[in-house]
Amino acid sequence: MNADLIQMMRRLAPDLTEEMTRRALILERISALQPVGRRQLAARLNLPEREIRNAAALLRDLGYVSLDPSGMNLTPRAEEVLEAAREFSRAMSGLTEMEQRLSQALGIDRVMIAPGNADEDGQVLNDVGRVCAGRLRMLLQSGNTLAVTGGRSIAAVARNLQPQSPLNVMVVPARGGLGRSVELQANTLAEEIAGRLGGHYRLIHLPDRMNAQTLQEMRKVPEVSEVLELLERADVILHGIGCAEEAVRNQKLSRDVQSRLMSEHAAGESIGSYYDLEGRCLLASASFGVDPARLKPTCRMIAVAAGASKAEAVISVTRHSHHAMLATDEGAAARMLSILKA
């Protein structure tokens, strides 16, 4: 939405603009959380329940919202105005401007920001997954190969992919298995994402880390070499970003390596590699999976990370390599802009 138009609306009709913003925000949140009760929605939006009740009644009278014992739901008619309401809400809350500023500062083609801070509200991560899922489907084309990592952020994307017409894509794990919950491993999420897209998948039944000699031997196994070839031809890589300090513990790196990374101010980790705030790679991945050096030039990187605590990690990773998209939340975005300005 045009910034000049927003300013004019705020000057000419501040009371009407505020009410329109509230209704658009409520409509968008009902879409994300439905069915949702008025008290729950009021808590999520930090608004008085009375305001939610009044706005919901008006939206019901307009034919956009239905009310029943399970909570509020959008009607089919609401789909006609939902996308415009979503854009209006984001523009009025400043998210659109924040997306543009972060995109320019980090050289990312497209930044998408969900409202809130995942460090304070666990539901925000699901919202980040939802905004990423919608855009991911638009980026993929028939015949593409999609590589995905594991983790909570990618799991949020997976569960928000809505089944539509089948898309002929091949989904593969971007790395081997880690010592985390099975439901968060790359294999599991690759299979789930392929199912939701209506595509195909291949799996890697190997641990994430192994020595060079073992890895070389495993490359001779046909099932393994097939997946590695698919990874090298990947058209899109969907990956999460971790804070370096937490990642070194999860990957069980040696104490010497941990000490070196911390002394060199490692900030972020992605696909097994570690980076400082300037984007310098401090430790290249020794894991089984994607080798960034072997990717084709046209491969598009999509990063997903939420929470203000991830700000430095996101900067470090996206400064190292060009990204087609970043999906994050308001808390992380605000802190990133503060760091980059400083």
- Percent of the chain clearing pLDDT 70 (strictly above): 89
Instruction: Name the segment(s) of the chain with CATH classification 1.10.10.10.
Output: 3-93
- Whole-angstrom distance, CA of residue 189 vs CA of residue 186: 5
More confident: 331 or 90: 331
Cα-Cα end-to-end distance for the chain: 29
Q: Give yes or no for residue 225 having a pLDDT over 90.
A: no
Average pLDDT, the chain: 87
Q: What is the pLDDT of residue 174?
A: 87
Residue 70 exposed, middle or buried by CB count within 10 Å (0-12, 13-18, 19+): exposed
Topology of the domain covering 3-93 = Arc Repressor Mutant, subunit A (1.10.10)
CATH number for the 95-341 domain, one of 3.30.310.50, 3.40.50.1360, 1.10.3720.10, 3.10.129.10?
3.40.50.1360
Q: What is the pLDDT of residue 110?
A: 96
Residue 145: band (very low, low, confident or very high) from pLDDT cuts 50, 70, 90: very high
**Using an 8 Å Cβ cutoff, are 281 and 271 in contact?**
no
Q: What is the pLDDT of residue 91?
A: 79
Give the residue-averaged pLDDT of 160-166. 87
Q: What is the pLDDT of residue 229?
A: 80
Q: Note the pLDDT tens digit of each residue in 264-301.
A: 999 999 988 899 999 999 988 766 666 666 778 899 99
Give the residue-averaged pLDDT of 296-317. 95
- Helix 123-139 vs helix 152-160: angle between axes, to the nearest 10 degrees? 60
- Whole-angstrom distance, CA of residue 104 vs CA of residue 82: 28
**Using an 8 Å Cβ cutoff, are 172 and 147 in contact?**
yes
Pairing of strands 170-173, 200-201: parallel
pTM (predicted TM-score)? 0.83
Q: What is the pLDDT of residue 77?
A: 92
Distances (CA, A) of 284 to 17, 287, 293, 320: 51, 9, 10, 12
